[in-house]
Structures are given as C-alpha cells and as structure tokens.
Amino acid sequence: SRPILDMSYSRHFLDFQGSSIPSSMKKLVVTKLSQNFREAVTLQQDAPVPLPGDGDLLVRNRFVGINASDINYSAGRYDASVKPPFDVGFEGVGDVVALGLSASADYTVGQAVAYVQAGSFAEYTVVPARHAVPLPSVKPEFLTLMVSGATAYLSLKELGDLSEGKKVLVTAAAGGTGQFAVQLAKKAKCHVIGTYSSDEKGGFLKSIGCDRTINYKTENVESVLRKDYPEGVDVVYESVGGKMFDLALNSLAIKGRLIVIGFIAGYQNPTGIQPIKADLLPAKLLKKSASIRGFFLNHYLSEYKMALKHLLKMYERGDLVCEVDFGDMSPEGKFTGLESVFRAVDYMYMGKNIGKIVVELPHSVNSKL
C-alpha cells in the first residue's frame, strides 16, 4: 500500500523522515553569461523551494555531478534565446521528498532517484516523474552513469563499430567519461590506448584494463603512436580538441573513425573552441577513407533509458568500475556543499580528477514534528 501524496498545491508538507521541508534553499544561478564559471554563477541563499506539479517529483539532492560542459552552459552556448538568470547543473541523485498525485502511481516518498536535467546545482529540484530513473539506493556511483557513462556507451555503440582486435585510442582516458570508454572498448575485446597526465592516472588506467597508457606530459604522443601503431588506430574517442584532435586525426588507420564527444581544451576560450588544422581535413579523410562523427547525448535520448539500464546492470554485477572523485586530494579537501561546486569546476579544468567529479550535498534533518 503505497502512500499517495498530492503535494502539488501545498506549501506545508513533510518529508519522509517526518521533518519539515524548508520554504527556502540554496541554489546556483547563472547571473551573467561567461565561460568563467566563477564570474557567471552566483550562490543564491534564499531561493524558494519549488513545488512539484501533478506529474512531478521533488528531489532532495544528495550528490550532483560536474561536467566539462557546465561552463558552456554558463556561457549561454547551448541556447542563445535563454537569458540570465537561469539555473545550472545537469545531473543529480537524491531522495524523493514530495510528489504530485499522478507521479505517485510509479514513485513514493523516500525513493532514491537519479535524473539528468538543468538545475541540479540546488538543494531541491523538481523533476518530471517520466524523466527520473529509480535507483536501489542513493550512491554517487550511479551518478557517474547518467551523463558520462551513457555518453561513452551510446557513442561507441552507435558510431564506434567496435569488434575484437580493433585498436581504440581514448583521450583524457582517466576522466569522467574516458573511464567508461576504456572499459566498454575492453569488453568489446579491443586493444585500448589511453592518454593521461599523472602517474596516479596511469595506475588507474592499468587497473581498469588499458593495454597501453601514454603520459602526454612526459611522452610525445604522436611519436609513440607512430612507433607502436604504424598502421594507425581504428577508433578514437576524443574529448580534448585542439592539438590532440589534430594528432588523433593523423593517427587514424585506413577506414578509421574519430568520434568527437567534446573539446575541453577550448571551452575556457571566449569562442569555446581551440583552432585545429582543418585546411587539410578533406585530403586526410579521403586518403584513408576515414570519418569523423560528432556525438551529443541530447540527440540520442530515444536510446538513453536502454543504455542506462544496461550500464546499471553491469555496475550491479561488478562488471563496471564507476570511479568517483570527491576532490579529497584537492588543496581544500572534499567537495561538500554547493559552495564547493566552484572549486570542483576549477579542479576539472586543472586536469586533476580521476573518474567523475561529484559534489556531496549533506542535509541536516530537522527535529521530528
């Protein structure tokens, strides 16, 4: 007998632990368009806690994910028609603390859910029930799959044409999405090469099955690829851009595929991109019958739930490592509370993270009524 709670029109309601949900909360808001996250975003201390409509859940966020594209969003690069102020943050994991009547057909107060939706950098977020993903528990590992895992899975499945023995190069391989590209390519019995920037990252990549690791700080990536893979690589999973893109393009084998899932090296520039040597691009592709494909998760939403279901099963079976980086090794310590989202974004752009950067939002439970 599931309790049905219609919270759509109530400003006075209780959460599942019997404590009052506050009327105001903290959230991050873009108040000025800029690729500098600290300049663009303001921590609002007393935003009203939103009310769920009939088909909605009110989620108390416990963990939120940091993405390279957070600064593209704060710069207004995704939708020129949206003007500040607007909410920021793409994904969260938390507890359902209130819900509308229709939403209660499938969900209940106290349930753990994850979601992908703008506005997760807040203590509470209203999420349409149809967009929520029910979880067995609130764990940060589940958050790694929502954007990063799904991007790796769908891009390689739809565009990678992976098969046994193919050589796959993953750039920024120890990052939030790179970690999944490495593991999924290994599961397809490919030979996986990963670029990285520190000994700790190299060790992590070996632990998840990377066959060849290349430290781009101490090794010449182009020389290593030319020497060890004279025939080139079959697939590149590329998220860096700029010089790394040029290098990856030059390293493609005959009929090679380059999948672009981002170009983080350029995001901090005013234009959002870093120049590439594009004038020779047609000749290079023709010479090798090679191809370049872009991948943006929003264009594959019809496949999204299937991908997530598959990834969740893999994780629960122990077939997938979901590395979470809470910033414990950062100078000021673990990323806790919305205030630390700014530090977490800086940490990502310094290239320090191993795995997915996650910020924990602790909640003190008010005394029982």
SS (H, E, C) 52-111: CCCCEEEEEEEEEECCCCHHHHHCCCCCCCCCCCEECCCEEEEEEEEECCHHHHCCCCCC
Alpha-helix runs per DSSP H in 81-198: 140-144, 150-155, 178-187
Residue that terminates a domain, selected from 298, 314, 336:
298
Indicate whether 160 and 276 sit together in one domain.
yes
- CA–CA separation, 60 vs 184, rounded Å? 32
For residue 6, tell me if it sits in a domain: no
For residue 13, tell me if it sits in a domain: no
Output the pTM of the full model: 0.93
Residue 44 CB partners (closer than 8 Å, separation 6+):
26, 27, 28, 29
Residue 199 CB partners (closer than 8 Å, separation 6+):
215
Indicate whether 249 and 114 sit together in one domain.
no
CATH number of residue 170's parent domain = 3.40.50.720
Indicate whether 196 and 271 sit together in one domain.
yes
For residue 89, tell me if it sits in a domain: yes
Q: Do residues 340 and 359 lie in contact, with contact meaning Cβ atoms separated by under 8 Å?
A: yes
Q: What is the mean pLDDT of each run of 10 residues along the chain (369 residues)?
A: 51 51 93 97 96 92 98 94 96 93 90 96 97 96 98 98 98 98 98 98 98 98 98 98 96 98 95 91 97 97 96 97 97 97 98 98 59
So what's the pLDDT on residue 7? 54
For residue 110, tell me if it sits in a domain: yes
Indicate whether 100 and 233 sit together in one domain.
no
CATH number of residue 335's parent domain = 3.90.180.10
For residue 44, tell me if it sits in a domain: yes
Indicate whether 193 and 55 sit together in one domain.
no
So what's the pLDDT on residue 260? 98
Indicate whether 34 and 52 sit together in one domain.
yes
So what's the pLDDT on residue 5? 56
One-letter amino acid identity for 270? P
Residue that terminates a domain, selected from 298, 315, 341:
298
Indicate whether 189 and 285 sit together in one domain.
yes
So what's the pLDDT on residue 11? 44
Indicate whether 126 and 155 sit together in one domain.
no
Q: Which domain holds residue 90?
A: 24-138+323-360
Nearest C-alpha neighbor of 76 from the set 37, 34, 117? 34
Indicate whether 163 and 287 sit together in one domain.
yes
Which CA distances in Å does 74 have to 68, 79, 152? 11, 11, 24
Structurally, the chain folds into a number of domains equal to: 2
Burial of 287 (0-12, 13-18, 19+ CB in 10 A): exposed
For residue 309, tell me if it sits in a domain: no
Indicate whether 124 and 74 sit together in one domain.
yes
For residue 327, tell me if it sits in a domain: yes
Indicate whether 212 and 266 sit together in one domain.
yes
Indicate whether 96 and 237 sit together in one domain.
no
For residue 284, tell me if it sits in a domain: yes
- CA–CA separation, 298 vs 292, rounded Å? 19
